[in-house]
Amino acid sequence: MLESWRWYGPLDRIGLEEIAQTGAHGIVTALHEVPYGEVWTREAIAARKGLIASSRLDLAWNVVESLPVHERIKRGEGDLSSLFANYRQSLANLAAEGITTICYNFMPLLDWTRTELESPVAGGGTCLRFEAVHICALDLFMLEREGAEDDHPPELRARARAWFEASDKAARDRLTHAIMAGLPGAYDRYDIPALRAALTLYEGIDADALRANYARFLKEVVPVAQELGMRLCVHPDDPPRDILGLPRIVSDEDDIAWILDCLPVPENGLTLCSGSLGANPQNDVPAIAARFAERIHFAHLRNVAKDPDGSFEEAAHLAGDTDMVALVAVLLAEERRRRDQGRRDAQIPFRPDHGHALLSDLGRDTHPGYPLIGRMRGLAELRGVIKALSHENVGWG
């Protein structure tokens, strides 16, 4: 497996020299400064690629995360021909620079969503947390979304009201800030009125409508990926549940099967995110990985610990509710299968996803969920699992 590291480019407070010291060689990045829907020019791609390579640190841009899908495409709104053309041109420009693995998502409006960015963990440090009571309070009492009561059980609604009535403006502002933190790079953030207005644009779009728009997207771009020798790999919803009235359609095994069957070709693939899928109590992540192994082109390895009310938080990479050793074993077995077929692309790139903020991470103000020390700890733990599972002589003596 190819050790990789997410880097936000010039926006990132973690430098390439520091990344090199983690032992990772692949860089997962994007042109976050380019507005959604515009073409990634070959010149801009080459400049970012050159910036990474010129470091002389044995680093290379190996995965794009993400080439974003415009919200109008997700909504199926108006004449989309220019947006599809721009997406295809960006793919062509990336392929011309030798970057052929493209992670993207089809989450409406919001990317990964958390309600707390600095939740304390045992022994010190902090983690990202999704608190069901807080998202319920936001939905019912801050956004005052019509129909929100039907999406939350009575006991949770009562707890949310109690939190809201006891909260002050600072607490509510922190919650709004945390929700917005999942939007990548230099992207517009919303206050409550703006978020309320943005949500209205999705009124009338249910899961079936969103699937139809997604199928159209795939049919518009996957054939070009086939021509270019690229791999598109969708990222699961995070969290894997409807949120704020927005439908989510990449949340479980059945969703993934529908997507991969929509265009059953290798170029229509999956980013296996163990944390996103692991937040759904119904998901057996190693089993999902085994079922779709041949279509996994990229992996995010992290872990979560879930609560009965739907809350969850980022756990240490080898802790939490997902059997990470079993999951890595599935990915290594798939790599062996690919090597046996003589494939040159047998190696699966992976990155240690969201880590705890530890030691000198605290107060450094890196992108939420993307500290240096916490992710390096995760990478070291995963490296040990991979090494142990790959060792031919499992016995001693």
Respond yes or no: is residue 300 known to be catalytic: yes
Count of C-beta atoms within a 10 Å radius of residue 200 = 11
> One of 134, 152, 235, 356 is an active-site residue; which one?
235
Respond yes or no: is residue 353 known to be catalytic: yes
Q: Are 5 and 349 in contact (CB under 8 A)?
A: no
Respond yes or no: is residue 370 known to be catalytic: yes
Phi then psi for 386, rounded to 5 degrees? -65, -45
> One of 273, 297, 317, 356 is an active-site residue; which one?
273
Rounded Cα gap, residues 259 and 216, in angstroms: 11
Q: Are 231 and 276 in contact (CB under 8 A)?
A: no
> One of 151, 238, 252, 353 is an active-site residue; which one?
353
> One of 70, 134, 300, 317 is an active-site residue; which one?
300
Rounded Cα gap, residues 98 and 111, in angstroms: 27
Strands (E), the chain: 2-6, 26-29, 60-65, 101-104, 116-120, 126-130, 231-234, 268-273, 296-301, 303-306, 312-315, 349-352
Q: What is 352-369 written as a DSSP string?
A: E-S--B-GGGTTS--STT
Rounded Cα gap, residues 110 and 245, in angstroms: 12
CA–chain centroid gap for 73, Å, is 19
Respond yes or no: is residue 152 known to be catalytic: no
Q: In what order do the strands lie in the sheet with 126-130?
A: 116-120, 126-130, 312-315, 303-306
Respond yes or no: is residue 233 known to be catalytic: no
Give the CA diameter of the chain. Answer: 69
> One of 70, 317, 354, 356 is an active-site residue; which one?
354
Q: Checking DSSP bridges between strand 101-104 and strand 60-65, what pairing results, if any?
A: parallel
List, by residue number, the catalytic residues. 235, 273, 300, 353-354, 370
